[in-house]
Amino acid sequence: MMVIRPIQEGDLKPLYRLTELTGIGFTSLVTDEAMLQKKIDRAVKSFAREDINQPTDEDYLMVLEDTTTGQIVGTCGMLATVGLDEPFYSYHLGTITHASRELNVHNAVPTLILNNDFTGCSEICTLFLEESYRHSKNGQLLSKSRFMFMAQFPQRFTPKIFAEMRGVSDENGVSPFWESLGRHFFSIDFKQADELTAQGNKQFIAELMPNNPVYVNLLPKEAREVLGEVHKNTAPARHLLEKEGFRYENYVDIFDGGPSLEARVQDIRAVRDSRLKKVEITECPEEPQATVFLVSNTKVKAFRCLLIQRNVSREGSIKLTQQEADALCLTHEDQIRIVELSSDPQPNNV
């Protein structure tokens, strides 16, 4: 059985193993044991807090566990806020108009403007699924489990939430956008810049990045073509978020030009359509033609989420097997949150 749960103190080694599979450009997890342990500690403390009425600096990191083998095969995360302790930078793709009546010229020129517009917003991040598990709707479970947590605990997040999507780079980690813009100001490789920001070192951005608008037309064609586009492995994740209600509003990453998608939490489909039901633990015959549901408990520290395939009526309780109830840390007549799982491609990483 595949189960989503909060990361635990003993998960350092399996989490480190996953970071070795992510590749260049996956900045929310780095292959560094000390930093990973720090992230685990922060997540454990965040899930342990029961008295949260508004979001602050919480970092919720969850993992996908194959209970048959005990192996951790994926991660997903949520940041309660960004940009409060250190600046959060992005580019906004806007327009500057140049006009001359005398020459009868009117040009609308696209520009990139450095900003901190996402300061104070919640972010979903750190989505990665091991390649051998990219089947059986595991990717959907991994990504959408975050929305079940948000639906149950809306006070832990801001009304608006966003996701920074991984931009285009080749198999060697070379980003056309970085090579055409960032390298001229930072004089370092894309990989090194990514690693510095992953380590929390963002002061160099303020020191070296130009505050003046960047005229997009002056960038090489290969940089313009990837602006607002995602890495090939991230395309399914983008599609899934857009199906859930996220939209691209012309914000892009300052390093690789990848898009930032945003949504109002209450407008996310899985949040809006989820509902609470009471649990009935009983024998459940297999129903291969039934609807697939995301189901989660209503706990914080012991949050659990998994998929079931069942015919469920709008009224009354939901039937779970004893194995499913145990995996969800539930007993008879406990409350459970459910929502239909829409049919989307498998998201692999952000």
Distant-in-sequence, close-in-space partners of 65: CB < 8 Å, separation ≥ 6: 2, 3, 4, 5, 71, 72, 73
Would 190 be classed as within a structural domain? Answer: yes
Strand intervals (E) in 130-197: 160-164
Would 340 be classed as within a structural domain? Answer: no
Residue, of 285 and 108, whose pLDDT is higher: 108
In angstroms, the CA 22 to CA 16 distance is 10
Would 283 be classed as within a structural domain? Answer: no
- Residue 27 pLDDT class (50, 70, 90 cuts): low
Would 237 be classed as within a structural domain? Answer: yes
Q: Which of 98, 106, 184, 231 is catalytic?
A: 231
How crowded is the C-beta side of 229, counted as CA atoms within 13 Å?
A: 13
Mean pLDDT, to the nearest integer, of 7-15? 96
Residue 318 has pLDDT above 90, yes or no: yes
Would 35 be classed as within a structural domain? Answer: no
Would 47 be classed as within a structural domain? Answer: no
Mean pLDDT, to the nearest integer, of 137-142? 96
Would 113 be classed as within a structural domain? Answer: yes
For residue 231, indicate whether it is catalytic: yes
- Domain containing 208 equals 83-119+159-272
Residue, of 250 and 347, whose pLDDT is higher: 250
Would 234 be classed as within a structural domain? Answer: yes
Q: How many domains does the chain have?
A: 1
Contact 63, 4 (CB under 8 A): yes
